[in-house]
Amino acid sequence: MDEPAGLGERGSAIWLAMATTDVPRNALVLEAARTADRLDELDNIIQGKGVLNLMQFRVLDNAIIDDSQNINVEVKFAAPLAEARQQATALANILAKLAPADSKAAAPPVPVPADLPDNVSPLQRLAQKLSG
């Protein structure tokens, strides 16, 4: 399976480890890979190593009235830490969907003494073990 273009180091590792021939699953794997790369970029920004336009400007109104110019501007500030938290939650949700159903930890089966019949309850089996 070919690796999609544009993935970073962590995204590539996720793709290589989790991609299969199942197209719907691979769509989730690709989103997990992209989200992991996005988290790396956000982490660099939070640490002061990356570049992010933290302010966005938009002119809402530009009017000239009586030889004076009136400009109404909207300014928005980005919140990389909040976005990183949201991306981390999204990645956790995607990875939970990708986890195989049988990956849940299960207790190892308890060996049953051969001399007990099949219709004995687990409590009776435990009592038999403790007394015997």
Q: What is the pLDDT of residues 20-75, one digit of tens each?
A: 999 999 999 999 999 999 999 888 888 888 766 667 778 888 887 777 888 888 88
CA distance 28 to 12: 14
- Name the residue among 34, 28, 3, 32 with its Cα closest to residue 16: 3
Q: Is the pTM of this model over 0.85?
A: no
- CA dihedral 116→122→123→127, nearest 10 degrees, is 40
Residue 36, pLDDT score = 95
Domain positions in the chain are 9-51+80-101
Query: What number is the average pLDDT over the span 15-21?
Result: 93
Give the position of tokens 């933290």: 54
Residue 15, pLDDT score = 95
| DSSP reduced 3-state for 64 | strand
Residue 90, pLDDT score = 93
**Contact criterion met (CB below 8 Å) for 102 and 74:** no
Beta strands in 1-132 (DSSP E): 55-65, 68-77
Residue 101, pLDDT score = 53
Residue 51, pLDDT score = 67
Residue 35, pLDDT score = 95
- Name the residue among 27, 24, 43, 48 with its Cα closest to residue 88: 43
Q: Which residues contact 14 (CB under 8 A, 6 or more apart)?
A: 29, 32, 33, 36
List of long-range contacts for 17-23, beta carbons under 8 Å, 24+ apart: 18/98
pLDDT digits (tens, 9 = 90+) for 70-125: 888 888 777 888 888 999 999 999 999 988 655 555 555 555 555 656 666 767 76
